[in-house]
Amino acid sequence: MTAMPAEANFSELIQKPKDTVARMQVNARRGLLLRRRDEEDLYLTTAARADQGVQVVDSITRMFAALLKESPAAVDLLTRVIPEVFPWVLPAAESCSGVPPGVRGNGSGQYLAR
C-alpha cells in the first residue's frame, strides 16, 4: 500500500510556512499535497527527494533498455506484462509490419491508443 502524502491548503502555506512545511518532514513520502480552490493542486517536496525520483526513473529505464537489448525473451515477456500494469498500452501487433488495430497516429510518429 502506498503512503499518502501529508495535505494542507495552499493558504496554510502562505499564512504559516514553517509549520506547514514541517508537516511534510514527518510523512513517509516526505511530500506535501497543497490543495488549491480553483486551480490544480500542487505537490511540495525537497529538491533532493525530487532528484531521487528522477534518478530512480533513469535507472529503471536503463535497466529495461539493457534487458531488451540482451534477450528476445525479455522483449516477449515485457510485451505480455506491460498492458497488465499499464492498461492503456495495447498489446504488440502480431506482425511488426503494421500498426495494431485501435491505434492511430498523431502526426508526429507517435501512436495513441483509442
Q: What is the pLDDT of residues 30-53, one digit of tens each?
A: 789 999 999 999 999 989 989 999
**pLDDT of amino acid 90:** 64
Of 112 and 31, the one with more pLDDT: 31
Helices (H), 6-46: 10-15, 17-25
DSSP code for 57: H
Matching residue, cell 501512436: 111
What was the pLDDT predicted at 24?
A: 83
User: 534477450: which residue's cell?
Assistant: 71
Give the β-pairing of 42-45 and 31-35: antiparallel
pLDDT tens-place string over residues 77-98: 888 888 888 887 765 444 444 5
Of 30, 26, 23, the closest CA to residue 45 belongs to: 30
3-state DSSP assignment of residue 97: coil
